[in-house]
Amino acid sequence: MTDSTEISITKIQRESVTVHCCSSPDSGERVNAQIIELQNTLVIVDAMLMRPHAKALRDYANALGKPIDRLFITHGHPDHWFGAEYFQDVDRYALPETTQEIQYSAQFSIGYHRGQHGELITDVPVLPNKEVGEGEVLIDGVRFLVHKIQSAEDLNMIALSIPSEKVLIAQDLIYNQVHFFVGQKAADGTLCFDGWIEALKQFDRFGYDVVLPGHGVPADGSVFKENIAALEKMRTIFSGSTAENFVQNTLDAFPGYGLRSMVEFSAFFLFQMKQG
């Protein structure tokens, strides 16, 4: 059983890469960081929320015995960048919009999570120091594609694919059998549903064999349609709920899903932030 300081590892061997899906327990929001092990180096995608899990991620990467080429921060939500303090010696790549989001929201995010978890949360934001854009990146002889996604789970985010291996490092484009965070607004002020569903439909066309979610266990290509159906249901729940019953309505609609805290985060941003 995973305790509050441990992460669990799922290894997926492909022809030219080994994926190490590193997952925190419920106390760390079941967030995933991915280590892509290449022949000579490592690529890390996202960095966990809480210090114990971020440290465990770095320790595990170090134990693989290969240098870390870079860390990608896929988007500006704190459960994906707080742990960057353990990778200050590594180049940290993100969209310029993501770096701006982190700069803008860091004080609020750190204060909010420190209010819940104290010193288990970083106290100083470690920002990305390199920019990444959409397109091809060659790392240690392996071709990665960087995909920019807008107005989905976050306003700006990236996913990474390895076309030769039919692997998509989806991160928070995909959730797998855990509750969604649906509190993000698009640039026009509308909620995330339309942009997120449209992005899922586009990625569903590519026939990925391995899909690595931001929360939940690794999946195959069937997860796209599952996520689309779940988000459509979440849209209906929101439109028919109030601040008082949204959480319970969501829990009732998805009885097999884990991570209740995501429902509560969604409720805060959908209702309390709106009222504020």
Report how far residue 192's alpha carbon sits from residue 187's, in angstroms, rounded to the nearest whole number.
10
Q: How many CB atoms lie within 10 A of CB 232?
A: 12
E strands within 38-192?
42-45, 68-72, 92-94, 130-131, 135-139, 142-150, 156-162, 167-175
Using DSSP bridges, classify how beta strands 167-175 and 18-23 pair: parallel, antiparallel or unpaired: unpaired
For all residues of the chain together, what is the average pLDDT? 95
- Cβ neighbours of residue 229 closer than 8 Å, sequence gap 6 or more: none
Is 166 contained in some domain?
A: yes
Q: Is residue 31 part of a domain?
A: yes
Residue 3 lies in a domain: no
Rounded-to-integer distance, Cα 170 and Cα 159, Å: 5
According to the model, what pLDDT value does residue 204 have?
98
Does any domain span residue 1? no
Bridge partner list, 136: 145
Please report whether residue 200 resides in a domain: yes
Asked if the structure places residue 112 within a domain, the reply is yes
Task: Tell me the two tokens of residue 68.
Answer: 């870390």
Cβ atoms of residues 129 and 136 within 8 Å: no
The rounded Cα 122 to chain-centroid distance in angstroms is 18
Residue 3 has pLDDT above 60, yes or no: no
In whole angstroms, what is the distance from residue 177 CA to residue 215 CA? 8
Query: How far is residue 263 from each of residues 17, 168, 216, measured CA to CA in Å?
Result: 35, 25, 15
pLDDT tens per residue across span 165-177: 999 999 999 999 9
Q: Does residue 228 lie in a domain region?
A: yes
- 158 Cβ partners below 8 Å, 6+ apart? 72, 74, 75, 94, 95, 98, 132, 134, 146, 147, 148, 149, 171
Q: pTM higher than 0.75 for the full model?
A: yes
Dump pLDDT digits (tens) for 87-140: 999 999 999 999 999 999 999 999 999 999 999 999 999 999 999 999 999 999
Number of domains composing the chain: 1
Instruction: Tell me which residue of 214, 4, 258 sits closest to 117, measured CA to CA.
Output: 4
Give pLDDT tens digits for 177-186.
Answer: 999 999 998 8
For residue 134, what pLDDT is reported? 97
Strand order across the beta sheet in which 167-175 lies: 135-139, 142-150, 156-162, 167-175, 210-215
Name every residue whose Cβ is closer than 8 Å to that of residue 245 and which is 6 or more positions away in sequence. none
User: Would you say residue 218 lies in a domain?
Assistant: yes
CATH number assigned to the domain comprising residue 262? 3.60.15.10
Question: How buried is 112 (Cβ within 10 angstroms: 0-12 exposed, 13-18 middle, 19+ buried)?
Answer: middle
Residue 86 lies in domain:
8-275
